[in-house]
Structure 1
Amino acid sequence: MKIVVLGDKDTVLGFRLAGVHETYSFEDTTHEIERVRNKIMELIEREDVGVILITERLAQRVEIPDVAFPIILQIPDKYGSLYGEEQLREIVRRAIGVEIKR
């Protein structure tokens, strides 16, 4: 199964350097947002895609379909998380049952 990354050019470049082979970069324009929607639908239909990583800022601009497979995860971009540290702690606490403290 493949991991696919959708995001801004800098975030995508980081994942390419980390070894992710299939990445797509998009700019924050109306035309590009329509391309993102189309790309997400295309990736969902493919059987070889297991995980789609999409930056939080990009995900805010498009409606993420509620599908069981592939797994679609929102990730921070080069500017950091939109949700803030406290919400990230809560997500980790719910996911693994451990509270992270400073």
Structure 2
Amino acid sequence: MEIAVIGNSEFILGFRLAGIRKTYAAENDEKLNEHITTVLQDSEVGILVLNSGDMDKIPRRLRATLENSVKPTVIAIGGEEEGGLSMRERIKRSVGVDLWK
């Protein structure tokens, strides 16, 4: 399983430096939607990391797909979690057990 990161160039830079290979620069909304669709179709990706501000930019239907996705598990970083599942709940849903117990 691999981790994919989508966001503007500043957002993905740290992930690149940490060794994440699947990073996608999305400087506009069209590229953001295109990269999300590509990652959703990639069977090797287990976790998708997005900037929480970008979640507001994607179409409602695609956002619903991301929020209900188990593989890849989608984690929004950089703000408050709005009505979505916490990271703990997402990991529990993805792995099948609560790793914090």
Same fold (TM over 0.5): yes
Q: Which runs of 5+ in 2 are unaligned?
A: 90-97
RMSD: 2.4
Match of 2:71 in 1: 69
CA displacement at 1:9 relative to structure 2:
1.1
Match of 2:93 in 1: none
TM-score by length of 1: 0.67
TM-score by length of 2: 0.68
CA displacement at 1:61 relative to structure 2:
0.4
Return the alpha-carbon distance in structure 2 between the equivalents of residues 11 and 38 of structure 1: 17
1:7 aligns with 2:7: yes
| 4+ aligned runs moved over 3 Å, structure 1 | none
Q: Which runs of 5+ in 1 are unaligned?
A: none
Equivalent residues, number: 82
Of all paired residues, the percent bearing the same amino acid is 26
CA displacement at 1:67 relative to structure 2:
2.0
Return the alpha-carbon distance in structure 2 between the equivalents of residues 42 and 68 of structure 1: 16
Which residue identity lines up with residue 71 of structure 1 in the other structure? T
